[in-house]
Amino acid sequence: MIELVRTNDAVLISFIEALMRDAGIEFMVADQNMSVLDGSIGVLPRRILVAEDDADAARKILVDAGIANEIEGG
């Protein structure tokens, strides 16, 4: 799996999750439980991961949704 987005923004994570679900793209939100370690203050970013085979389609979905600036490394 490759990292698609890294963010602390819970609303953005929810939005991306909905986009991926609607497109039928499997994803994983990594570091979701790290808030326990950082005291639930949201300092540690969460990462949305997708399979390499789905990466291009997932990126296109984010571009089409107007959040291309959130793509990691892009």
Give the pLDDT score at 40: 58
- Chain centroid to Cα 68, Å, comes to 12
Q: Are 16 and 45 in contact (CB under 8 A)?
A: no
Give the pLDDT score at 8: 87
Parent domain of 9: 2-70
User: pLDDT of 22-56, one tens digit each?
Assistant: 999 999 999 877 655 655 566 788 999 999 999 99
Structure tokens at 36: 């326990």
Domain of residue 65, CATH code: 3.30.70.790
Give the pLDDT score at 32: 78
Number of domains in the chain: 1
Mean pLDDT score of the chain, rounded to an integer? 89
- Total-model pTM: 0.85
Q: Are 45 and 6 in contact (CB under 8 A)?
A: yes
